[in-house]
Structure formats: C-alpha cells, structure tokens
Amino acid sequence: MSRGALAGIRVIELGEGVSAAFCAKLFADYGALVVKVEPPGRGDVTRTWGPFPGDVPHPEKSGTYFFLNTSKKSVALDLEVGADLARVRELIAGADVLIENLPVSELERYGLDPASVAALNPALVMISITPFGHTGPYAGWRGHDLNAYHLSGASHRYCGRPGEAPLEHGTFAADFFGAMTAAAWGLAAVLGRERVGSGQHLDVSSAEAIAAAFVGGQNIGGYAQDGKWERRTGVGMPLGAPATILPCADGHVWMLALEPGQWNGLVEVMGDPEWAQLDMFQDMFQRAQNSDVIYPFIEEWLADKSKFDVMARCQAAGVPVTAVFLVGEAAEQEHLKERGYLVTLDHPDLGRVRTLGAPFKLPASPGGPSRGAPRLGEHTAEVPASGSEGRRQGVPPVRRRFRRSAPRACRSRASASPTSAGCGRARWWARRWVSSAPRSSRSSRGRGST
Amino acid sequence: MTRQLPPFGEGVRDPNRSLSNHACWAGQGSVTLNLKKPEARRLALDLVATCDVVIENFGPGVMNELELGYDALRRVRPDLVMFSMPAAGLTGPMKDIRTYGLSLTSTTGLDSLVGYLGGPPIPVENAFSDPLNGIFGAFAILTALHHRAATGQGQHIDYSQQEAVMQLVGPAFLDWELNRREGGPLGNRHPRAMAAPHGVFPCSGDDRWISIACSSDAEWKALAAAMGSPAWSAAAGLGSIAGRLAHLDAIHEHVAAWTQGQDVNALAATLQAAGVAAAPVLSVADLLHDPHLTARGTFVEVTHPLGFRETIYGAYVKMSVSQPAVRTGPMIGQDNERVFREILGLSDERYQALVDAQIIF
C-alpha cells in the first residue's frame, strides 16, 4: 500500500473541539502519525456533541468526533496530573509538530507555552489555533467559533438581512477556516525547518484569518482610501441580477445569469417570455436596479419547477445556475460517488460508517481517512511511562539534523533541564510506530545506536 | 479580470491600481505571454522547466487545449507538482459545472445551512470558498512537495473546490449518515445544540451587535450574574444546558432586551471580565480600527510602485522565526525582463523581437 504524502511527520494534538482536531486530521489523513491527547474519562468534548445513532449519547459514537479524528491515535493523559504531563512533554520532545488550541493561560499553567516548548524541542513546529490569537488586547478573552466568526467582519458585511442579526455560516466556519489556514502555514514551517534552521511557533487567530483573507482582501483597500464601506444586503450580489437564492417547487436554486450569454441562455430556458424583452432587463446592472420587478417574474417561472431540473437545463444552456443541495442530496450525488469522495470505515462501536474522504486527490500518494476515529485512550499503553525510555539512547534524530544548520535556535537546548530534555523520544516514536517513520529517522536511528 | 474591479488607487481607473485584489497577489511576480501563439507556449514550457510548482484554475481540459497539460509539462520538468483546482474536480459527471465562487457552496450542502432559524437559505454575499481554497490549496501543494522530497516524484493534484469546501459540512453530513436527518438554517445557534445562549444581540448605535456563547453552565451563571441575576434567569431548569435549550427563544429575548442600549465594546469587556465568551460583531470599518486587529498588524499600509499608498492585509498568521515581509501586488508584466532575459537567458535582440511580435506583451 502506498504511503501517504506526509508519512514520517510526527504530530501531537492537544486541546478540544473542532479547530485543532480538524487541522491534525488533515495531517493524519495524508499519512502523518498523529497522536491525540485526550483527558481520561471524558475525552474530547466533541465526544458529547453527536450526532449519535438514534440520538442515544455514547462517547464512542459521536459523528462529529468521528469525522474530526479519523486516522489518529488516542492517548488518554491528564495534563493536571504530573506523571501524565511528563509523558506529554516527552511526546512533544520527540515530535515534529504540536497542534493545539488551548487558552494561553492553560498553556502557561502546564509549562507548554511556546517558549517552554521551544526549549524542550527546538526543531518543533508548534501550531496554536485560537479564536483571537496569542497577542493583542483580546488574547486572554474567552471565545468560541461564534465569537471568532462575528469578529471577522464576515457576517456584518456578507450574511443576513439588513436590520436583522448578522449570521454565522451554518457550521463551525471560523474553526474550519482557522484549521485549514493553520495546516497550510504549519506544513510550510515543517518543510522550511532546514532552511530557517529550526522549528518555530505559529500563532493562528481564526478571526484574524477570515478578517484578512475573506473580508479585508476585497474591502479594506477601498475603505482605507475612500472611507466607504458596505454591509450585508440579504441579496446574493446586489449590483448585478439575477444573482440570489430563489425558491422553486421543491426547494431553492442559486439563480445566476449576469453576462449577456448567460442571460440569453436563461431567457431561452424560460421559454422566451415577453417580459424578458423589456428594456429595463437588458444588462445585469439595469436588472439589479429593477430587481423588485425581475425577481417576481423569475420566481413565478420557478414556482412549479424542480431545482435539479432547473439546474440541468440551465447548465446545458451555459447558465451557472445550481440547485441548493440539502446535505443528504449533496451526500448522495452521483458525481461524488464516481470520484470516490466518500469512504466507508469500520469502527468497533459505530460499525461501518461512511464519511467524507480526501479533500484533494494526490495520485502518487493517495490521502483520505485510513482508519476510523480511535476509542478514547486506545493507544495509551503504547506510550511509555515518563523517563522509562533510555536517556542512554542518544540525541533524537530530528535535533541531530538541526545541530549543524541551526546553531542559534538550538543553543536553547542547553538551557532545558536534563529531565525535560531527556533523550530518546524521537527514537521511541520511530521504533514504536515504525510504519509511519520517515526514511531520515530510520537512517538516523542507525546512526544514533552507535 | 479582477484588475478591472473598482475601487482604484487614487481613483484612477487603471489595471495596475485595482485595490480590491492586491492583497491576494502580495509579493508575487508577473509576466505577460500571449498563449495563443506557439512561441509563447514554448517560453512557458521553458519557464516551467525551472519551476517546482504550476498552479492553475481553469476548467478541466483547458490546459490541455493550450498544450500545457500535465503530460506536456512533465516532459520538461519530470518532478513537477501541478496543481489544478477546478470547481468540481478534473473527473466525474459534474466536472464541467459552471458556478461562481459564491454559489459553488450550494453543491456541498453548506448553503442549505445558512439562514434564520426555520427560514429559507440566505445567500452569503461573497465567495467564502475563494480564499479558503487558495489557502487550503497551498496545503495540498505542500503535501505533494513533502512527497517529492521523500521520493523524488512529482504529481498532478486534482483539487475539487467542491470537495474541499464540503469538509465544512462534516458534522451535518454525519447526521445524514447516522440518522438520515437533513440539517437546515439555525440562525446563530450552535450547530450541534451544545451551547445556550448562543447568538448575537443588539447594542446601542447603528447595526451594532455582540456575540455571546455559553458552552458551559459556569459561563451561563457568569452571564446571569453579569445581568444582575434577574428573576427569569433563576427559573427552574435553566441551570442545565438541556433546560436552556428548551427555552432558548425566551432566553435570547431576555438577553437582547438587556444588551440593547449598551455600548458593544464596554459590554464585551465587562462580560469577558466576568468569564463569558463575548465579542463585538465587527463591520468592515471596524476592522481597520479595532484595537486587537490593530495591535496584531492584521492590515498594513504599503507603497505601490506607482507611488500611491494602499492598505492590504499583512501576514495573518504570526510566525516566530520566519515572518514574511508583505509587499504590494505586481504591475502587469513587471518581471518580464528579469524572467525572460535573466532566468531564461534570451538575448536582447530575441527579447525585443518577441515584445515587438506581441508574444511577450
């Protein structure tokens, strides 16, 4: 079986909820070895979120947990317990990447703040994903996905009716956006370690990422120069028409026909109605100015039509109209089945579960979920007790690699205490789960054993 | 195309002055080639031979029509990572689907979840999927580069924007799988009904709102105390999440009546001090003045080569060692001489001939 593209990368995941888990899942599904640390007894909070089969709560049957944690290992260790914390620190000392979403105050309490972690493992890439980030006046604030999304400007600008509440995106949109952003920048930092001579810390604020890349990108330049800014209208694209979601017989369609060819195509699909020849409908801007006239006309036409029929006929005429798929309709579409997007995995408690597969296809090194989500603490026994692995076993290979190229970053190793910076964890990682170990680690292990 | 979008720097309509998209191109170079001409395609191939990655977002098959498909590129650069990101992937019955960025999400189920509780879907008014796919596409490319570093092997990444965005629907998808239940618009409620109250509430001023999310009983107690422990908040059953969910509409009305008339920033600070997750809902204008984003340098002012100052987003992830230096987006063709003469080694005469023939233009 082909190994995943990220085989050889060792990841520790700390924290709860969506953002860190989804970021780490992306690494795991593409072949990295990901060890998720969960509190014993209760586990990650998403184990309580469901959906559960038949709505019967069970810590091993949460659909949200299952989706977010495929291809990972779970170790149950309590950061509040000294011996467990020491084992976590040993795992971190031998890892390539730490992905976490703990509040800054908790990181400090556990001695896992970025400076302490860098002293423990200078080659580590530490990825922190929080709603607001580690610096700035809101750094100590409590926050959830909802707070982050609404702080980004996305809802006020782009979602909801005027005069009514701005809306979230219908899912954990900030957590997901932050996680994908963190995965991209974090993997760049992993690949760039040799070049910069060390690991580093990445401070990802999910609110800031959306504020910058989604909202700021197209709004902030004009506002800074001209002082003009806009807010949500409740319409898809208020400057052109048709460009909105409209109801039809069995649901809704995204009605878009802006360019002349698209509009002409739509008129043809609608059977060339007389009203469409009116002067006020001859370009997208005029149509938008007369949206109170044109949208009722189109709605009338849609009233007895099925959304997938409208989509098929419009697409065939070159008009970019799509059905608003319900989740089940999206799940069952033939296109995704033919592309093999959906994968079925075995799970000891859930049975056979179908879930979303690889978000992109790598022909030479296929990715996607390879195992169902782990049971709570399923792999705890594989982690040695603190200090049980030999200090006799030499310097971890990752740090060896950096010794020559990174004098400045690695100088801090000297300041780490002998117990915290004890040796052999990377060797332990490599030996323990050798199927995921990188070539470089294997060869380093050979050298290290002399 | 996006070079034509207003507003423009200093109000001068010019493809080098579109303010709306410079941030996306920050730090990039630009060359101009008329790919309809065979000599231009040869130059493109020569350039690809010097590159690690090719990124394109045409529809499936367009690169092949340009004779710049993966097989052609691989011949000149065997370990190339080619990244194609069409709307619905390179294969499958829907591969030629026409969508805009803002409607692509409708094919994933995501749009069916956005709206007020029990109401119709409300369109998100810009393409959330565009920046998401750009950023996440970088992750895809980096995975392939990691594979190349280990094996020497390049590959052609088939990145379906639909499939990447559909990941955001994961929890709702599992509800379909496990219970055959379709989700729908929930307003600002928690997607898994695990927090209450959970919404945005009006404050004083024009279109001012605060977000408040209580994911634990402790947060709820803190909120109730901050509100002055009104009698309604002490009602039996509200101490548990299940009880609060059962009376969520009434709770939200009470909270809104309390927030109304309060200053949003002062209220957020008060609630945070009390241990409640609360934050202002920012407008576009707020983004530039919010003290937190200002302190983090989310937006930066840079000087464009044409001399005007413009504000773009800076490095929105903070890296402790290799923080990128953010520059303005490129002028059209600003790197033609450097690329074609210095990197590809064209002679002065040859370069000028290609410019005169409008192959480089």
Rounded to whole angstroms, the Cα distance separating A256 from B105 reads: 14
| Sequence-ordered list of residues with C-beta below 8 angstroms from that of B261, at least 6 positions apart, any chain | B203, B204
Q: Is the pLDDT of residue A414 over 50?
A: no
Q: Is the pLDDT of residue B209 over 60?
A: yes
Structure tokens that stand for B247 in this block = 């009376």
Chain A: residue whose CA lies nearest to B160: A360
Rounded to whole angstroms, the Cα distance separating A46 from A66 reads: 9
Rounded to whole angstroms, the Cα distance separating B256 from B252 reads: 6
Q: What is the 3-state secondary structure (H, E, C) of B255-279?
A: HHHHHCCCCHHHHHHHHHHCCCEEE
Contact A162, A233 (CB under 8 A): yes
Structure tokens that stand for A426 in this block = 């990377």
Share the mean pLDDT of chain B.
96
Contact A61, A51 (CB under 8 A): no
Contact A242, A257 (CB under 8 A): yes
3-class DSSP state of A342: strand
Alpha-carbon torsion (A61, A67, A68, A71), positive or negative: positive
* Predicted local confidence at residue A448, as pLDDT: 29
Share of chain B above pLDDT 70, in %: 100
- Closest by CA to A138, choosing from B121, B301, B280, is B280
Chain B: residue whose CA lies nearest to A440: B150
Structure tokens that stand for B244 in this block = 């609060």
- Closest by CA to A403, choosing from A366, A340, A442, A447, is A447
* Predicted local confidence at residue A429, as pLDDT: 54
Structure tokens that stand for A433 in this block = 């789960």
Angle, helix B217-226 to helix B264-273, in steps of 10 degrees: 130
Q: Is the pLDDT of residue A127 over 70?
A: yes
Contacts of A180 in chain B (CB under 8 A): 132, 135-136, 139
Q: What is the CA radius of gyration of chain B?
A: 26
pLDDT band at A444 (very low <50, low <70, confident <90, very high): very low
Contacts of A189 in chain B (CB under 8 A): 319, 322
- Closest by CA to A199, choosing from A98, A89, A90, A85, is A98
pLDDT band at B72 (very low <50, low <70, confident <90, very high): very high
Contact B89, B163 (CB under 8 A): yes
User: Would you give the DSSP letter of residue B9?
Assistant: G
A313 interfaces chain B, CB cutoff of 8 Å? no
User: Would you give the DSSP letter of residue B112?
Assistant: G
Chain B: residue whose CA lies nearest to A142: B277
Has the ipTM of the complex gone over 0.95?
yes
pLDDT in tens, A49-78: 999 999 999 999 999 999 999 999 999 999
3-class DSSP state of A33: strand
Angle, helix A307-316 to helix A260-269, in steps of 10 degrees: 130
Structure tokens that stand for A113 in this block = 């703040």
- Closest by CA to A395, choosing from A434, A450, A448, A446, is A448
Q: Is the pLDDT of residue A394 over 70?
A: no
* Predicted local confidence at residue A442, as pLDDT: 32
Contact A109, A136 (CB under 8 A): no
Q: Is the pLDDT of residue A390 over 70?
A: no
Rounded to whole angstroms, the Cα distance separating A11 from B2 reads: 39
What number is the average pLDDT over the span A402-423? 33
Q: Is the pLDDT of residue A399 over 70?
A: no
What residue spans of chain B are helical by DSSP H?
Answer: 22-25, 38-48, 62-65, 70-76, 101-104, 129-151, 161-166, 170-179, 217-226, 241-246, 248-259, 264-273, 284-289, 291-296, 336, 348-356
User: Residue ranges of the domains in chain B?
Assistant: 198-281
Interface contact B155-A322, CB threshold 8 A: no
What number is the average pLDDT over the span B191-217? 97
What's B198-281's CATH class? alpha beta
Interface contact B94-A236, CB threshold 8 A: no
Q: Is the pLDDT of residue A386 over 80?
A: no
Structure tokens that stand for B47 in this block = 């350039």
* Predicted local confidence at residue A380, as pLDDT: 94
- Kindly report which listed range (A44-48, A278-282, B206-210) carries the lowest average pLDDT score: A278-282
Please name each of the domains of chain A with its CATH number. 1-234+333-450 (3.40.50.10540), 243-325 (3.30.1540.10)
Minimum-distance CB partner of B169 among A142, A171, A205 = A171
Rounded to whole angstroms, the Cα distance separating B137 from A296 reads: 39
Rounded to whole angstroms, the Cα distance separating B90 from A236 reads: 28
String of DSSP letters for B154-194: -EEEE--HHHHHHGGGHHHHHHHHHH-------TTS-TTS-
Chain A interface, best mutation among B5, B13, B320, by max A CB count within 10 A? B320
Structure tokens that stand for B256 in this block = 């809104």
Q: Is the pLDDT of residue A405 over 90?
A: no
3-class DSSP state of A206: helix
Contacts of B295 in chain A (CB under 8 A): 135-137
Residue with tokens 């801090």: A412
Contact A24, A36 (CB under 8 A): yes
Give the closest-approach CA distance of A257 to chain B in angstroms. 10
Contacts of B200 in chain A (CB under 8 A): 146, 150, 155, 165-166
Rounded to whole angstroms, the Cα distance separating A441 from B318 reads: 29
* Predicted local confidence at residue A267, as pLDDT: 97
Q: Is the pLDDT of residue B327 over 80?
A: yes
What number is the average pLDDT over the span A417-433? 42
Long-range CB contacts (within 8 A, 24+) of B6-14: B6/A222, B7/A221, B7/A222, B7/A225, B7/A226, B7/A228, B9/A225, B9/B304, B9/B306, B9/B308, B9/B310, B10/A225, B10/B308, B11/A226, B14/B306
pLDDT in tens, B264-295: 999 999 999 999 999 999 999 999 999 999 99
Q: Is the pLDDT of residue A419 over 50?
A: no
Give the closest-approach CA distance of B85 to chain A in angstroms. 9
* Predicted local confidence at residue A424, as pLDDT: 42
Structure tokens that stand for A380 in this block = 């705890």
Rounded to whole angstroms, the Cα distance separating B275 from B261 reads: 22
Q: Are strands B209-213 and A10-14 parallel, antiparallel or unpaired?
A: unpaired
* Predicted local confidence at residue A387, as pLDDT: 54
Query: How many CB atoms are closer than 10 A to CB A160?
Result: 27
3-class DSSP state of A349: coil
Contacts of A190 in chain B (CB under 8 A): 146
Contacts of A44 in chain B (CB under 8 A): none
CA distances from A56 to A48, A63, A350, B64 (A): 10, 12, 12, 52
What number is the average pLDDT over the span A82-88? 95
Contact A86, A58 (CB under 8 A): no
Q: Is the pLDDT of residue A439 over 90?
A: no
Torsion angles phi and psi, residue B312, rounded to 5: -130, 170
Of the segments A1-5, A337-341, B323-327, which one has the largest average pLDDT value?
A337-341
What number is the average pLDDT over the span A100-108? 97
| Sequence-ordered list of residues with C-beta below 8 angstroms from that of A114, at least 6 positions apart, any chain | A107, A126, A128, A134, A201, A203, B320
pLDDT in tens, A212-237: 999 999 999 999 999 999 999 999 98
Contact B28, B21 (CB under 8 A): no
Interface contact A330-B181, CB threshold 8 A: no
* Predicted local confidence at residue B3, as pLDDT: 87
* Predicted local confidence at residue A396, as pLDDT: 39
Q: Is the pLDDT of residue A388 over 70?
A: no
Contact B85, B58 (CB under 8 A): no
A329 interfaces chain B, CB cutoff of 8 Å? yes
pLDDT band at B20 (very low <50, low <70, confident <90, very high): confident
Interface contact B98-A320, CB threshold 8 A: yes
Q: Which residues of A169-201 are buried (b: 16+ CB within 10 A; e: fewer)?
A: bbbbbbbbbbbbbbbbbbbbbbbbbeeebbbbb
pLDDT band at A435 (very low <50, low <70, confident <90, very high): very low
* Predicted local confidence at residue A191, as pLDDT: 97
Chain B: residue whose CA lies nearest to A49: B192
